[in-house]
Amino acid sequence: MTEGQIVESVNAFEKAIRESQILMFSGGFSAGDEPDGSAKFIASIFRNPKIMDAVHDLLQQRDGLALGICNGFQALIKLGLVPYGEIKPQTAGAPTLTTNSIGRHISKSVYTKVVTNKSPWLMRAELGGVYAIPASHGEGRFVAPEHVIKELFANGQIATRYVDLQGNPTMDEEFNPNGSYAAIEGITSPDGRVLGKMAHSERIGDGVAVNIYGNQNQHIFESGVSYFK
């Protein structure tokens, strides 16, 4: 509400990051889910010098982890934490997330395949395993120049891809509902300790999506916690 309270919040947030091992950017229509809304808001906060320094210390000096889902993935992309592993200005050729190719919000379960075992977040997931995960977003289309996508594949930074019932990556709108290039659903930083993905792996439980066929637990959160054990 005031300049003083903003400074107080920044200082408290910096302290919390420096006392943590994991930084999680959640999804869920924060900032009203206006175009680029939550991602712009989160990115503006994390570009504060104190918070940016605390994040870099977490990831580069203290072997911490960071995770972003849906709106959180959008924030990671805008900050540069994926795919670069550090907060940096966006460039013209950088990957981004934009409006779904169908031009509207989608809400459905999608099938995603784990295509790398490089990330600590995927240690307990099956490499090549297919998981049925809820997706709900209006701006989840992953786009990047062809040479950037090739580089991400070569580096093992493509974490998960949208696939059909046979487990094949696809541009079919039924299975890749936002039209992401190369059917990319999630990517990591170069060292794998930052993971960004669109589908809501946290929406899991005995009473969730009971009518959806397929394995719904990627064990992402168990993997993140076990990294420090």
b/e burial code for range 183-220 (CB count within 10 A of at least 16 → b):
bbbbbbbbebbbbbbbbbbbbbeeeeeeeeeeebebbb
Q: Which sign, positive or negative, has the C-alpha torsion 81, 84, 89, 94? A: negative
- Residue 202 a catalytic site member: yes
Coil/strand/helix, residue 86 = coil
* Distance in angstroms (rounded) separating the CA atoms of residues 17 and 15: 6
- Residue 222 a catalytic site member: no
- Residue 70 a catalytic site member: yes
Coil/strand/helix, residue 111 = strand
| CB contact at 8 A, 193 and 65 | yes
- As to burial, measured by CB atoms within 10 angstroms (0-12 exposed, 13-18 middle, 19+ buried), residue 128 is exposed
Closest CA to 6 of 48, 54, 57, 37: 48
Say whether the peptide bond before residue 169 is cis (omega within 30 degrees of 0): no
* Distance in angstroms (rounded) separating the CA atoms of residues 52 and 50: 6
Q: Choosing from 139, 185, 200, 219, which is the catalytic residue?
A: 200
Q: Choosing from 86, 126, 202, 222, which is the catalytic residue?
A: 202
Q: Choosing from 14, 70, 139, 185, which is the catalytic residue?
A: 70
* Distance in angstroms (rounded) separating the CA atoms of residues 44 and 26: 16
- Which residues are designated catalytic? 70, 200, 202
